[in-house]
Each structure stands twice: as structure tokens, then as C-alpha cells.
Amino acid sequence: MKAFLLDRYGKTGNTRIGDAPEPPMGDGDVLVRIHAASVNPLDFKIRDGDFKLILPYRLPLILGNDLAGVVEQVGAKVTRFQPGDAVYARPDKARIGTFAEFIAMREADVARKPANVTMDEAASLPLVGLTAWQALIERGKLQPGQTVLIHAGSGGVGAFAIQLAKHLGATVATTTSTANVEWVKRLGADIVIDYKKEKFQDVLHDVDVVLNTLGPDTLEQSLQVMKPGGRLISISGPPDPAFARDAGLSWPLVQVMRLLSWRIRSRAKQRGVEYSFLFMRPDGAQLQQIAALVEAGTIQPVVDKVFPFEQTQDALAYVETGRAKGKVVIKLV
């Protein structure tokens, strides 16, 4: 099958489109013919080797972390899907590889595609949708009437998280550039801080939940606007010991994570705030709930550009610029 392969870690000259064997299937697996896959910052971070300590992949590796497509074959123990079903998914971190014609995944990681959107639109949803769901609902325990700050509201995670937080009844604040102020307001943001004109820490106070997708400076500055008892969730790091333990990492790596996150954890504790690092996990049941929100019109997929499979390298480069408005999708069928 055709696949976009990573031969060695690094920024340039290390990826190619080539042939790869079709993935092996287990009794509990679903084999999907991929119609579209989306590009996420996670993809170029894996390419660059940023996660090689905690995600020890064997190279060459097929990149790609979410998809939409059609079930081609099911394992003997699969009960919820059959060939011909339109599905979408985020595969388990140990079985990524959505920049390819086929992928095999656990049945539990797969959900039926929202019926009212295209394959391209559906492919844009799994990773960002699960990230926002697990950050705001599971970790943040966001309640009606609370205030949430979502950094980088025009990005893939941000655009989804704004809509989800609004659905949950929260007051939604976000940061973005001048060009996207009105756009994020249309997504549902109540308070929009143009980071080119003002600092969010000069505008906000008593925030209950912060979802950070940016760097360490923004992470620490976020503490200044939070109320005691608030929850600060970061998907960009630093990883903390709880993440290391949940991921089953070795004792030395747990200690490394402890050191990496010591500064933000101690500063958060001083302010009575709970800090946690989120590395989103696959969950087909949550994707089914997200599909219901999409079908109800509560959440709209946000697709910036669609690239043909042959231009996967260009799609990665575009996402890496940080200028994408919503998601970037690679079309295979």
C-alpha cells in the first residue's frame, strides 16, 4: 500500500512516500481504508524525535494520528462494525499510521462517522475533539457558569475547544491574532484577547480552567489569571510524573518527568492551582458522543486546507508554520 514514511528522526530529508505492507489484523481489530487524514502538530513532533523517549517507534514509521474512512474487514471478535461502515478514529499511540491507504485499529478506538459531514471534515475531528473533551470535561471538570481560557483559539484544538466549552455553558475566553478576532467570536468565544495588542494576564482574572497549547512562558503566565482551586491543563508540556506512570514509563523516566515539570507544579501549588499534562488517549465511545454533537450542529468541523496525498510534505510544512485556521487535511480517496 502507499504510505508516507519516516526513515529517521529530524526536520528535513527524512520522509518519503513509498510502499509499505498492509497492517496485520487481530481478532479484535477493524481494518479501514483511509479516505482522509488530518495533520497535527504531534506529527511533526514525532518526525523531529521530540517524543522518542516516551514513544519508542521502530523506523521506518508511517506517520499520521487520525482519520476517516470505510471499514474494509473486521476481526472475528468485532461486534459493532462491518465492512462498508463509514468510520472515524484516533488510533492507539502504539499503532499510528494514518498517512496510508489502510490501517488496522482496535474496535474500541473506532466510531461511526458523523453522518452530516464529509470524509475530509470527519478526518479533522478525532485528535482535536478527544483532546478538548478530555481536557475540559475529564481533567477540567468544566461546569456551566465557570470561566475557561483556551489559548490559541484559531488552532485546531482551540477551534474545537471553544465550541465544546460553549456547549458546556462556560464563559469562554481565548487568545488569537488580530486577523482571527471576529472568527473566534463566531465560534463562540465571549472574551477575545488579541495577543498582538494586549496581554491576556492584564485582561483576565478568576479563571477556573485553562487549556494551554503554547510554550512555557504562556503556561506560567496563565497562573496569574487563575482562581485558587483552578485547573491548568497543558497539552504542550512539560510532562508530569502522573503522565509518566500512566504511560508505564520506567522509573528513571518518571524522575525525568518529575524534574521537567517541577517548576510549573511548584508554582501552581503556591497559587492553589492543579497542574496536569494531557497526552490524549483514543476512545471510540467519546468519539461517538462527539459525533452526536456534530450531527446536532452543536460543533462544526473547521478545515483550513485539503492537500492531496502526494503533497503530504507540504501539508506538514503548512501546519508547522502555525498559521493554519482550524485543521489541515490530507485526502487519499
Answer for the pair 48, 115: CB distance below 8 angstroms, yes or no: no
User: CATH number for the 2-124+301-331 domain, one of 3.40.50.720, 3.90.180.10, 3.40.50.620, 3.40.630.190?
Assistant: 3.90.180.10
User: Does this model's pTM top 0.85?
Assistant: yes
Instruction: Compute CA distances 316 → 10, 218, 312, whole Å.
Output: 13, 24, 6
Closest CA to 275 of 255, 258, 291, 253: 258
Task: Please write the tens of the pLDDT for every residue from 212-255.
Answer: 999 999 999 999 999 999 999 999 989 999 998 888 889 998 99
Which class for 75: exposed (0-12), middle (13-18), buried (19 or more C-beta within 10 A)? middle
Q: How many helices (H) and strands (E) does the chain have?
A: 11, 16
Q: If you average pLDDT over every residue of the chain, what do you get?
A: 96
Closest CA to 239 of 219, 222, 259, 220: 259
CA 86 to chain CA centroid, nearest Å: 21
CA 143 to chain CA centroid, nearest Å: 22
Task: State what percent of residues in the chain have pLDDT above 70.
Answer: 100
Q: What dotted CATH number matches 127-277?
A: 3.40.50.720
Residue 56's pLDDT is what? 86
Q: Edge to edge, what strands does the sheet with 61-62 contain? A: 15-19, 2-6, 61-62
H helical segments located in 74-212: 119-123, 126-133, 156-167, 181-187, 200-203
Task: Please write the tens of the pLDDT for every residue from 250-295.
Answer: 999 899 999 999 999 999 999 999 999 999 999 999 999 999 999 9
Q: Where are the domains of the chain?
A: 2-124+301-331, 127-277
Nearby residues of 325 by Cβ (< 8 Å), 6 or more positions away: 154, 159, 180, 183, 302, 304
Task: Please write the tens of the pLDDT for every residue from 124-178.
Answer: 999 999 999 999 999 999 999 999 999 999 999 999 999 999 999 999 999 999 9
Omega cis (within 30) before 60: yes
Q: How far apart are CA 255 and CA 202, in angstroms?
A: 35
